[in-house]
Amino acid sequence: MNVPTETAAKPQPWGSGRPYPIAARWYERLTLENGVTRFWEPHVHPLEQANFWHICGRDRDLLIDSGMGIVPLRPSFPDLFGSKEVIALATHTHIDHIGAVHEFEQRWVHEAEARQMAHPSGVTTLVCADIHPQLAALFVAAGYPPFDELLIDAMPHAGYDPRQYRLRGAEPTHLVRDKDIIDLGDRRFEIIQLPGHSPGSICVWEAATATLYSGDLIYDGPLVYEGPGMDLDIYAQSLRRLKAMPIQTVHAGHDPSFGRERLVEIIDTYLRRWGMSDQVQPA
């Protein structure tokens, strides 16, 4: 039942509870059907609290994005990251998607963000004061919790110094383009370049299961479409292309997964908000 409230509770700034507790564990993981595992970092501010995805293949595995890199990822999950080859693919190069990419031998990204992966810029620390105040205000207006001192609300272990954290770049070892195929032996994924959130944003499409790994192009939370490297016209065009695809499941870069109905609802909501048509425009 939907009960209208006079005033919504004002969200508390993220991480304002002092002293910072020590997290019982840093990563959460959820095993889905079909050899897919979802990871996330619950103690990271929701703006930067990304999902990343491990997909088990016959010959090699695929890791789509890799979180913030606050705690080493590979040694945390020896059952998934053993001796088998892993392709660490970044949907784009924001801090919450490439943090642990340096731990992997195979580091794949779209060619438009190759330099950004090697030499990250923008948000590269855990200190909220390093986020441009105008940008921070935009994020809060969009619906994210206010910022306090840090982008985390707990420490990964005793003695951790969050001010020493820096996003570590890594040279990509392979550059992907639109329509490239990633073959894991028994399952195939197609790269779809869908820019707007960032110039080299890609989605990963598994046609056999009608599943899209969407990165930050679309998720079931406040979309970030204003900021450095973002372009609203291009973003809208990418959303229209998504709507035309036979997608049944979206595993997104943030927030819970969703199905086709919600996908269409989110796309229509944003296109309407931006005053844009939902018809694919000729290139």
Applying CB under 5 A, which residues contact Zn ion?
Answer: 94, 216
How is residue 64 written in tokens?
């789509």
Q: What is the largest CA-CA distance in the chain?
A: 56
Q: Which C-beta is closer to Zn ion: that of 41 or that of 216?
A: 216
Distance CA 132, CA 135 (A): 5
Q: In whole angstroms, how close is the CB of 45 to Zn ion at the nearest point?
A: 13
Q: Are 158 and 147 spatial neighbours (Cβ–Cβ below 8 Å)?
A: no
Helix (H) or strand (E) holding 260: helix 260-273
Distance CA 42, CA 139 (A): 18
The closest residue (CB) to Zn ion is 94
Task: Dump the DSSP string for 91-156.
Answer: SS-SHHHHTTGGG-SEEEEEGGGHHHHHS--SS-SSBGGGS-HHHHHHHHHHTPPPB-SBSBSSBS
Q: In whole angstroms, how close is the CB of 98 to Zn ion at the nearest point?
A: 10
Query: Whole-angstrom distance between the N-terminal and C-terminal Cα of the chain?
Result: 45
Nearby residues of 11 by Cβ (< 8 Å), 6 or more positions away: 145, 146
Q: In whole angstroms, how close is the CB of 208 to Zn ion at the nearest point?
A: 27
Amino acid at 225: Y
Q: In whole angstroms, how close is the CB of 92 to Zn ion at the nearest point?
A: 6
Q: Which C-beta is closer to Zn ion: that of 57 or that of 99?
A: 99
Q: In whole angstroms, how close is the CB of 157 to Zn ion at the nearest point?
A: 27
Q: Which C-beta is closer to Zn ion: that of 56 or that of 142?
A: 142
Q: In whole angstroms, how close is the CB of 209 to Zn ion at the nearest point?
A: 24
